[in-house]
Amino acid sequence: MIVFDTSVLLILINNEPLLPRVQALLQQLEQSASVIGVSTIVLSEFWVRVPAEDRAQLLAALPVTVRLLPFDTGCAHTCADMLHGLSTSAAPLGTSKTRIKKDLLIIATAKAHQATHIYTQDKGFCDLSNRVGFGCTLVETIPLTAQSSFL
């Protein structure tokens, strides 16, 4: 299972320039019968930008199976371990500790639910994910064709 961050879901609904890259990834995920994980934290961030009457149908419209990932006790344990590991290092310049904690909640949820990778268009998020040892890819680096394995 791979996980989408809020920025990827927003690309899908806002028809942004990176949409062809996300569509190529979705095509590859569909062909491999992969599952997309979406943390309930990401879902909340996403739904803030979507009218209430449109929320349910948006995730259902994806051509792959979407699994909602709740933040539970296992996620809390994973997040605490990640925060402990980062406590000796300073926050990257220009990044608030509140932002880091929010991003870590999403990364910990992915890891605790045994996802293998996160996709985002947030460089700071991706850098943090890689710092704690969880694979992350920026959407802008996804090939436009589904020929290359990017899962």
In this structure, what CATH number is given to the domain that contains residue 66? Answer: 3.40.50.1010
Q: Residue 92 gets which letter from DSSP?
A: P
Is 149 contained in some domain?
no
The percentage of the chain sitting over the pLDDT mark of 90, rounded to a whole number, equals 57
- pLDDT value, residue 6: 94
Examine residue 116 and state whether it is found in any structural domain, yes or no: yes
108 SS3 class: helix
Sign of CA dihedral 67, 72, 74, 76: positive
Q: Domain span at residue 96?
A: 2-141
Higher pLDDT pick, 149 / 57: 57
Which pTM was predicted? 0.85
pLDDT digits (tens, 9 = 90+) for 34-62: 899 999 999 999 989 888 888 878 877 77
1 contacts: CB under 8 Å, gap ≥ 6 = 34, 35, 36, 37, 67, 113, 114, 115, 116
Total number of domains in the chain: 1
Mean pLDDT on 137-143: 94
Stretch among 53-67, 78-92, 110-124, 135-149 having the lowest mean pLDDT: 78-92
- pLDDT at residue 10 tops 50: yes
